[in-house]
Structure 1
Amino acid sequence: MKRWPVAGEGPLIKICGITTPALAEAAVAAGADMIGVVHFKPSPRHLTVDAAAEIAQTVRGRAFVVALTVDADDATIDALLAHVRPDALQLHGKETPERVAALAARSGLPVAKAIGVAAAGDLALADRYDALLVIDAKPPKGADRPGGHGQPFDWTLLDALDPSRPFMLSGGLDPASVGRAVRLVRPYAVDVSSGVESGGVKDPAKMAAFVSAVHSAAAAEGITA
């Protein structure tokens, strides 16, 4: 079974919602360790299976490719596995611990499970999942899709998380905020999407600035993930 990449100096960097091969190349050139492709129609970053496969092929072997889905059925997962051939799955829906375990077994891939956090009690879900946690902000009330929608949450809530458990931090990160996040919560990885966009499209300059901010914060604090 594949495993998540081993972090080196500081947290790994995932840039999610990549929509074209050119932007995938730009993300890798900026220094991203992982890229995410989204297969979920309500998302503005949704890709068809074929489009996601093209992006994955562009960076295969140079970045860890993560396929993000929301409450996908087995047929959808099988199509992603067969055509995209991702290195990992990231689940952002209401997937139960049993469903997450079943998809890990079905795919033979490492799986990440997103948990929306707005209050300390939301972290109670963490112990139920045998997966890499993606700690994200809860979506705004009435939102038609999961995720933090570019908004951060109170990172001090993560003090309640088992310090030995690695996690990926998401929600409201951008080049200006990620350095503080790295210093404060010391995640295994950081996951960014809208925070490196201009006009809803990934911006190569912002991606490079994000990566630089992560590396600078880790180096200044002597942080190893």
Structure 2
Amino acid sequence: MKLKICGMKYPENILEVGALLPDYMGFIFWEKSARYFNGEIPELIETIKKVGVFVNQSQEEILEKVAKYNLQAVQLHGHESVDFLSDLKKQLPKKIEIIKVFSADENFDFEIIKPFEAVCDYFMFDTKGKLPGGNGTTFDWTILKKYNSKKPFFLSGGIGIQELKAIEEISKKNLPIYAVDINSKFEIEPGLKNKNLFSNFKRKFDVANF
């Protein structure tokens, strides 16, 4: 199982966290976010995939950020349509991964994701809340037993060290969980991650029985 840390903002902190080798590192390009990124990304170890996070933004803006920051993935947190993703997919270099995010609660209908299977590489399920992401709470993961797709997905929403055991349990349900996405539970302030807390989590994550 892969590990993504999202909402990075400060160059020195990016390097500190990058030295601990997460698989993915996310940068939020939505201006309304407290973790909005508008700086320079320092050089990272090439195994770390840089992810741009967007919310209802234009294809032009997404493509511009992909080129400017040499992104390896885009994460779409808004109400982007299947046609939008299809168009975007044609314009992006083939190696760029597309992650389509869905906000989930106990009433989530997994049928709505079906049309997106052909136009993205991964789904992400995050907690439905006031914000498109980064609400800091988990959703009821038991709803994932209704997951009816073979498309691998990222699990997100308020995940911290306390959730590792539950992730281990849910990973035994033959669900195609590709990665875990962490953010707010590891912050000193929005965009600034606690390196020691992340190091402790990653050490336990790496030896977990996924």
Match of 1:90 in 2: 75
Asked whether the 8 Å contact 2:6–2:25 carries over to 1, the reply is: yes
Distance in 2 between residues matched to 1:81 and 1:164, nearest whole Å: 27
The alignment's C-alpha RMSD in Å is 1.8
Task: Give the 3 Å change call, closer, same or farther, for CA 90–65 of structure 1 in structure 2.
Answer: same
Match of 1:116 in 2: 103
Q: Which runs of 5+ in 1 are unaligned?
A: 1-10
Count of aligned residue pairs for this structure pair: 200
The one-character-per-residue Cα deviations of 1:77-130 (angstroms, maximum 9, x if unpaired) are 132022112001000000011111221221122100100110253322221213
Asked whether the 8 Å contact 1:182–1:214 carries over to 2, the reply is: no
Any idea what SS the aligned residue of 1:135 has? strand
Any idea what SS the aligned residue of 1:188 has? strand
Higher helix share: 1
Match of 2:188 in 1: 198
Between the two proteins, what is the percent identity of the paired residues? 25
Displacement after TM superposition at 1:60 (Å): 5.3
Distance in 2 between residues matched to 1:154 and 1:30, nearest whole Å: 29
Asked whether the 8 Å contact 1:137–1:170 carries over to 2, the reply is: yes
What amino acid maps onto 1:211 in structure 2?
K
The one-character-per-residue Cα deviations of 1:104-162 (angstroms, maximum 9, x if unpaired) are 221122100100110253322221213210111101xxx2x312501100101001113
Distance in 1 between residues matched to 2:169 and 2:206, nearest whole Å: 11
TM-score using structure 2 length: 0.88
What amino acid maps onto 1:197 in structure 2?
E
Task: Give the 3 Å change call, closer, same or farther, for CA 158–62 of structure 1 in structure 2.
Answer: same
Task: Give the 3 Å change call, closer, same or farther, for CA 65–83 of structure 1 in structure 2.
Answer: same
TM-score using structure 1 length: 0.82
Q: Does 1:25 align with 2:10?
A: no
Q: Which runs of 5+ in 2 are unaligned?
A: none
Matches for 1:28-47 after TM superposition, within 5 Å: 28-47=18-37
Any idea what SS the aligned residue of 2:100 has? strand
Of 60, 64, 85, which aligns to 1:75?
60
Structure 1 residue runs of 4+, over 4 Å off?
none
Asked whether the 8 Å contact 2:99–2:124 carries over to 1, the reply is: yes
Any idea what SS the aligned residue of 2:66 has? helix
Any idea what SS the aligned residue of 2:75 has? strand
Distance in 2 between residues matched to 1:214 and 1:120, nearest whole Å: 29
What amino acid maps onto 1:98 in structure 2?
D
Distance in 1 between residues matched to 2:21 and 2:126, nearest whole Å: 22
Any idea what SS the aligned residue of 2:203 has? helix
Match of 1:4 in 2: none
Distance in 2 between residues matched to 1:104 and 1:150, nearest whole Å: 30
